[in-house]
Amino acid sequence: MHYLHEKHLSKIWNPGTAFERDHMTRVAVPKGVKLVTEWNSQIVTSIFCHRAIAATLPALLAAWRSAFSEKEWMRMGLNKWAGCYNNRPKRGGKGPSTHAYGLAFDVFSTGNPFREAVTTFSPAVFDIAEQHGFFSGWRAWGHDAMHFQACVPHRTDRAAWTPTKMLVNHAWPHVAKAFLTVQP
């Protein structure tokens, strides 16, 4: 099984202007998916992300939207976009955040706060994300439910959760094998 691991990102890419030019792209929000920015309720029509997730991120958003009624979608806050690309360091950690690579995004951060063990999302939200190649902070750490990333988390606080439950190469068929690590 092949996985791109968070700890190897800085060995592959260096965030910044050249990185943005060479590896980032803007993708359209799928038809029928209504997202607004969480901070000012502006309609989100496109997302700036890494090219490696340019197909899977919109597919995930469409899958979430089709899986839930309008009432559930709004109640869980799946319509509240909190961002993807942000060239910044990890909070409380070393090195760039997965957001600095455009490989992570957050949804409804006020309802699913950073470092808090609460979530507005049903388990199906996390299941669908994993089916599309995204790990969740909720399942990896038991908190930070707003956070989803397309690489194996640097650590997990949940003994029962293992990244082998999801094949990242399913979502990343075009990423060179040199960039992938093999996990048992």
CATH for 175? 3.30.1380
- Which pLDDT score is estimated for 95? 79
Q: Which residues form the domain of 29?
A: 2-182
- Which pLDDT score is estimated for 121? 96
Total structural domains within the chain: 1
- Which pLDDT score is estimated for 171? 39
Strands 35-37 and 80-83: parallel
* Encoded tokens for 5: 């691991």
**Euclidean distance between CA atoms 96 and 90, whole angstroms:** 5
- Which pLDDT score is estimated for 167? 36
The number of angstroms, rounded, from the C-alpha of 39 to the middle of its chain's C-alpha atoms is 19
Nearest 5°: CA angle at 88, between 178 and 38? 110
**Euclidean distance between CA atoms 184 and 4, whole angstroms:** 13
- Which pLDDT score is estimated for 154? 63
Q: What is the pTM of this model?
A: 0.80
Residue matched to tokens 């992938």: 180
| CA diameter of the chain | 44
Q: Is 89 helix (H, G, I), strand (E, B) or coil?
A: strand
- Which pLDDT score is estimated for 128? 95
End-to-end CA distance of the chain: 7
What residue type is assigned to position 53 of the chain? I
pLDDT tens by residue, the chain, 184 residues:
345 556 666 666 676 778 888 889 999 999 999 999 998 999 999 999 999 899 999 999 999 999 999 999 999 999 999 999 988 888 777 778 889 889 999 999 999 988 888 899 999 999 999 889 898 988 888 888 999 998 877 655 544 444 433 333 333 333 333 233 333 3
**Euclidean distance between CA atoms 116 and 93, whole angstroms:** 17
* 26: enclosing H helix or E strand: strand 24-28
